[in-house]
Chain A
Amino acid sequence: MRRYLADAGALARKDLLLELRARDTLPAMLLFVIAVLVVFHFALPTNASAHASLGLLWVAILFTALLGLGRSFVAEREQGVLDGLVLAPSDRSAIWVGKVVATLAFLVVAEIVALPAFALFFTSIDGSTIAGVALADVGICAVGTVLAAMAAAGRARELLLPLLFLPLAIPIVVGGVGSSLAASSGKYLAFLALYDAIFVLVAWAAFEYVVTE
């Protein structure tokens, strides 16, 4: 287990270092989420309800995550490095764990900027919304990373990732919007936690088959 975590840690550290050097993903995610919130700010009527604006927050989070996920295997694909990683004797799911950790870090940074901006433009955010966002992030990154690996191997990868990811993200939106709006947000948070538990396991187990033929 220690070795597994050490492998995943080394791979996550590598992804964070790549981003620190190339600055390809995080600035794009930050710009995108702020731009989307500004667009929504002008698109929504001034008397729009908090319900409508909180729904749009989840749309912004989902598409920002999609932007990050779309770039998560770019270095491996363009430089063919995935073959080198797959041949290593470490468990192949450690590659997935490393990518999930790195993508999660980028998404959390984007949200640290986006949530205060949302509060500034629209309405205040409560604890249950933040808890919902945190739980949703795990599910988004777990499912999205395995789908990004599948899409990276295909030809129409820019099309494939959203087509695969968005249907699977519908329960996240249901749980996320519910946790933001419902009087009893607990059951929606529990729903998001259940989604995370199931899809983390499925994605972790499936990754080996995705990166090998």
Chain B
Amino acid sequence: MIRARRLARRFGDKRALEPVDFELARGGFLVVTGPNGSGKTTLLRLCAGLLIPTSGELEVDAERGQVGYLAHEPLVYRELTAIENLDLYGRLYRVPERRERIGMLLERFGLWEARAERTGSYSRGMLQRLALCRALLHDPELLILDEPANALDEAGEELLERELDELRRERTLLVASHAPERLERFATQRLALA
């Protein structure tokens, strides 16, 4: 589903991602590890189509609407409620039975009670849960998750593990983490960036 050959990215003079090779087959689960500044986020943004490589080749066999991307930022408007944010994305992604799907995800991620609150009042952990709802909303084929456990409490991490356990059966996952211990057991492949 993803094939990268000598894939690299620069920002001006700064090399953000050293040349990297990997192949991720459909249904695979690739965990990308590495210290801060090693290029994990850059690699994920390249695979999501948000950046263009400066050198090397990258093939991603998924249409734009079939990629679910979890970024460092939750990518939601703070003046809108959780439902309003997900409804906007649901419309843009043409999610069938949008309201039912949004309700189901908010319930599953423990945000149903806070659904009508503006997300500006959410804690960082709640925003991360909402960001996961957003990334999963359109039931994407390829999930690209950047530090998915970020800001989650113990219960949130357990919830995330259950979700990943479920998702890995039907989806292709590319997950970056600087502390991947809890993800290791799901991984079919590993890529360590230096």
**Partner-B contacts on A (CB < 8 A):** 3, 6-7, 10-11, 14, 17-18, 21-22, 75, 79-81, 83-90, 212-213
Q: A10-B91, A87-B64, A90-B92 are in contact. Are A79 and B84 (CB under 8 A)?
A: no
Determine which of A10, A22, A84, A212 lies in contact with B75 in the assembled complex, contact meaning CB atoms within 8 Å.
Answer: A84
Residues of A near B79 (CB, < 8 A) are 17-18, 21-22, 75
Across the interface, do A80 and B75 meet the contact criterion of CB distance under 8 Å?
yes
Across the interface, do B84 and A17 meet the contact criterion of CB distance under 8 Å?
yes
Q: With A and B bound together, what is the CA distance between A85 and B69 in angstroms?
A: 11
Say what secondary structure dominates the interface of chain A: helix
Residues of A near B52 (CB, < 8 A) are 212-213
Across the interface, do B118 and A80 meet the contact criterion of CB distance under 8 Å?
no
Residues of B near A3 (CB, < 8 A) are 94
CB of A121 to closest CB in B, whole Å: 35
CB of A153 to closest CB in B, whole Å: 12
Determine which of A11, A18, A79, A87 lies in contact with B49 in the assembled complex, contact meaning CB atoms within 8 Å.
Answer: A87
Q: A17-B79, A79-B74 are in contact. List 9 more A-B contacts (CB 8 A).
A: A10-B91, A11-B88, A11-B92, A17-B80, A83-B50, A84-B69, A87-B49, A87-B50, A89-B93
Q: What is the total of A-B residue contacts with beta carbons within 8 Å?
A: 76
Across the interface, do B89 and A18 meet the contact criterion of CB distance under 8 Å?
no
Q: With A and B bound together, what is the CA distance between A75 and B80 in angstroms?
A: 11
Contact of B190 with A by CB under 8 A: no
Give the interface centre of B71, B74, B80, B92 by most chain A CB atoms within 10 Å.
B92
